[in-house]
Structures are given as C-alpha cells and as structure tokens.
Amino acid sequence: MPSSSEDELSDHRELSGPSEKKSTKVPEMTKTGQASQPKNVGGVEAVEDLIRHTEEYNFAPELAEFLIQKLQFLSNIFVNRPRDIRLAIREEIVNTVIAPIVEKFRNRETLHLTTIYDLQARSVGIEERTYQEKIRSCEESIEKLKAQLQLANADLSTLNKDLNATAKGLLESTKEVKAIIKKSQPSFADVLQMRPPPTSSQVPYITQRSEHVVLLRPKTQGITSDLE
C-alpha cells in the first residue's frame, strides 16, 4: 500500500500540471459516458449520473464533450483525494454547484447562452420559425389549390367534350340547311306541268247549259171558262 506522501505527490502532479497534461489524464468520452471509476467513493456515482444526463440532453457536440471532460476530471479528484474532501462536501458540490450549471445550459433561456451554444440569436430564431410556419402554410395552400385545379380541370374536360359534340351537331345542321337553300325553285311552267290533267267525265259549263231546256206555258182565260 503506497504511503500518504506518495499519494499527495501524485495528486499534486495531476492538479498542478499544464492544461495539456490534464486533458490527457481525463478519460475519453464514450457513448455511455461512464469512466472506469470505483463506485465506493462518495460523490463519484452522482457525477457519473450527471454525465449520463449531459449526454441525454442533446447538447452541441463541443459543449457536451467539454462538460463531460470536466465532470470526469471532478470525479478523478474525488477518487484520488478522498481524505481531503469530505463526503458531505462532495455531494454539496455536485448537487448545488455543478448540476445547476448543467441544468442552466440545458434550459438555455437567455440570449447569451445561445451564443455559448454557437447558435443563432433568439430574434433570428423567432424569425426563422415564423418564416417556416409561413412556408408550411403556403405549401398547404398550394396543395389545396392543386386539388381544386385538378377538379376544375376535370370539369373543363367534360365541358370540352360536350362542346365538341354540340359543335358537330351544329355543323351537320348547317350543312343540311345549305343543301336545302341550294336546291333550285320550280318555275311557273313546271308548276303547270305538275298539275294533273282534267278527266273525261268533266263537261264544260257552256255545253251543260245548252243541253238543258226550260218549258214555259202562258196563262189564258179560256181554260178557266171551260172549267166553269
């Protein structure tokens, strides 16, 4: 078992070395977010839970890597110097300092944090969301108009067929009328020739008159005297 002086010397080297050497001491970020740390050290399990939550918060990759590296470095401090930091202080550091900071990053309620996330300003985001809503509304209107145009096109096709049939009928009627007009009208001689000839039973009126005889008898007095 190593002596306490050796532990302090190694801890001093880890904490006081340059930043590049510190980063080499930090475990690499994995999908699970769990470093190979002992579970029996107070505060380590809380830090690892916070690392898992940080991965689930769907931060930007650079920000997530930064936070996880720092949390793993804090876990190394708890493991390497368990006697220097009491258990209650470790839990308090994680619960009252580190966790609220990560939660504040998650909430991203201010305009300054959007710059930290390397995102656009909130005003630009609002404009983008507004334009996106307008674009979706316009797309829906376009789809509705397309459906209406398809129905109108179907109606126009039906009307076009009806008009074509009506036009054909009118053309046929016009041809018939023109053919009737072009026929020559009959002359007066043609009309006389078209009349039927008189039959033999018919007798002229003059001939019938000459054949009738009217007998007239004068009234005389001798007839009345004879009767007396």
Mark which of 121, 151, 172 sits at the end of a domain: 121
pLDDT digits (tens, 9 = 90+) for 146-201: 999 999 998 898 899 889 889 988 998 888 888 777 766 666 777 677 766 666 55
Residue 105 and residue 63 in contact, taking contact as beta carbons nearer than 8 Å:
yes
Q: Which residue has the higher pLDDT, 87 or 93?
A: 93
Question: Phi-psi bin for 96: left (phi > 0), alpha (psi -120 to 50), beta?
Answer: alpha
| CB of 75 closer than 8 Å to CB of 47 | yes
The residue ranking higher by pLDDT, 32 or 107, is 107
**Same domain membership, residue 48 and residue 113:** yes
Q: How confident is the model at residue 24 (pLDDT cuts 50, 70, 90)?
A: very low
Full residue range of the structural domain in which residue 176 is found: 134-194
Distance between CA 33 and CA 75 in Å, rounded? 12
Q: Domain check: are 151 and 182 in the same one?
A: yes
End-to-end CA distance of the chain: give it in Å, rounded. 205
Are residues 172 and 115 part of one domain? no
Asked whether residue 28 carries a pLDDT value surpassing 80, the answer given is: no
Q: What's the residue count for the chain? A: 228
Residue 189 in any domain: the answer is yes
Q: Does residue 208 lie in a domain region?
A: no
Distance between CA atoms of 123 and 112, rounded to whole angstroms? 12
Domain end marker among 121, 154, 171:
121
Q: Are residues 86 and 141 in the same domain?
A: no
Is 92 a domain residue? yes
Q: Is 221 a member of any domain? A: no
Q: Are residues 138 and 179 in the same domain?
A: yes
Q: For the chain, how many structural domains are there in total?
A: 2
Residue 98 within any structural domain of the chain: yes
Q: Are residues 54 and 117 in the same domain?
A: yes
Residue 170 belongs to some domain of the structure: yes
Confidence label for 68 from pLDDT (cuts 50, 70 and 90): confident
Contact 94, 45 (CB under 8 A): no
Domain assignment present for 205? no
Do the beta carbons of residue 84 and residue 41 sit within 8 Å?
no
Q: Which residues of 76-93 are buried (b: 16+ CB within 10 A; e: fewer)?
A: bbbbbebeeeeeeebeeb
The answer on 99 and 68 residing in a single domain is yes
Q: Is 141 exposed, middle or buried (0-12, 13-18, 19+ CB in 10 A)?
A: exposed
> Which of 102-111, 168-177, 202-211 ranks highest by mean pLDDT?
168-177
> Is 59 part of a structural domain of the chain?
yes
Count the Cβ atoms, other than its own, within 10 Å of residue 119.
13
Asked if 150 and 183 sit in the same domain, the reply is: yes
Question: What is the pLDDT at residue 56?
Answer: 78
Cα 178 to the chain's mean position, in Å? 56
Estimate to the nearest angstrom the gap between the alpha carbon of 227 and the chain centroid. Answer: 133
- Is residue 52 domain-shared with residue 109, that is, in the same domain? yes
Decide which of 121, 155, 180 is a domain's last residue: 121
